[in-house]
Amino acid sequence: MASRTPLTVATTDMEAPPVALTRRARAINRALAEVYPDAHCELDYETPFQLLVATVLSAQCTDVRVNQVTPGLFSVYPDAPSMAAADRDRLEALIKSTGFYRSKAESLLGLSGDLVEKYNGEVPGRLKDLVTLRGVGRKTANVVLGNAFDVPGITVDTHMGRLARRLGLTVNEDPVVVERELMALIERREWTLLSHRVIFHGRRRCKARKPECGACEIAALCPSAPGAKVRA
């Protein structure tokens, strides 16, 4: 029987009780909710299919750039049937500015074909179905579920993974493991909003190369902040 990754709570200090880590994680979420009360998905979309496509295009690309590209893209290919039948060269030209356009075009053609063949052209509302689509992993599936279907999920993108480690909520690099650990710490109803809040914070304050710790609103809860008194 294949081994399964246990649903555990991460800690960098094994003497710290899990309840203390849970309380701090939830305190962080509450603090971020006050700082970013309007946190939301920054990709523009009107349908679950459009959100799915936009999320695929957002890999290694800014949401701003994706939002500049998708109006033209969706005017030509508004749904799965039309995109499944798209001319590859034209599709690539439309999405070229998002980067890695050949592989992204392959994913879009693949997932659109899968939707037509398996789901009558409609985006399914279950994780186990979404991840069967070509080019769709758990991160993309959780974005679509949380925002298009109101199904709670934690999106572990580069911002979430980086901040979760800086905040001492995990020591892991594997996005799937990080997702499971955060699920164990945060109330289910908060999963999607936590994802938005952390992504907002990662883009606006806790930046990869130069985090603004001196101005950070949640520094008192962060073990990575200069002079931190909180334990990871």
Which residues have a catalytic role annotated? 139, 157
Tally Cβ neighbours within 10 Å of residue 62.
Answer: 13
End-to-end CA distance of the chain: 35
Q: Identity (one letter) of the amino acid at 56?
A: V
Quote the CA–CA distance of 96 and 37 in Å, as a whole number.
34
Burial letters 75-108, b for 16+ CB under 10 A, else e: eebebbeebbebeeeebbebbeebeebeebbbbb
DSSP state, residue 215: G
**Do 176 and 222 touch, CB atoms closer than 8 A?**
no
